[in-house]
Amino acid sequence: MFLNLTMQDLIFAAVAAFVVTWVLKSVSRMFMLVVSRSTEFGYAPKDLDTITEKCCGMFPNEMLRFNGILVRRGMTVRALTTENKTIEGRFIGTNTENMVCIITCRHVVAQELRRIADIQPLA
């Protein structure tokens, strides 16, 4: 079955495709801004070993060189984000998506590396 398409039909289809693409990209960008900045969730202290094991699997890179400082898995660190939030806890690792995982006494924090201003090891 052959349809007779007019120039008006083709222009309408092109404009509609542009609008749909623009909407999808805008929603995707907003979603990535919300998700990629920081993900933080609490855990029960009894689940610390299980949580640590899962996080080590999701963040397999055990070392991070940040501003000349080498941070290794298990080290206690203080991270300052670009939003001036301080995260103090045990460094777990990084992943291929440039996310850093730190486990605090009450939360697991996955922070995008480009949103971290400074990381310092603590004694």
Q: Would you say residue 19 lies in a domain?
A: no
From the list 123, 67, 71, the residue with the least C-alpha distance to 102 is 71
pTM: 0.68
Q: Would you say residue 28 lies in a domain?
A: no
Sign of CA dihedral 76, 95, 43, 35: positive
Q: Would you say residue 25 lies in a domain?
A: no
Q: Would you say residue 24 lies in a domain?
A: no
pLDDT of 37-91, one tens digit each?
568 889 998 999 999 999 999 999 999 999 999 999 999 999 999 889 999 999 9
Residue at token pair 């971290």? 116
| pLDDT score of 34 more than 60 | no
Structural domain boundaries, residue 96: 37-121
Q: Counting beta carbons within 10 angstroms of the beta carbon of residue 109, is it exposed (0 to 12), middle (13 to 18) or buried (19 or more)? A: buried
- Report whether 76 contacts 121 (CB < 8 A): yes
pLDDT band for position 4 (50/70/90)? confident
Q: How many domains does the chain have?
A: 1
- Report whether 89 contacts 76 (CB < 8 A): yes
Q: Would you say residue 43 lies in a domain?
A: yes
Q: Would you say residue 68 lies in a domain?
A: yes
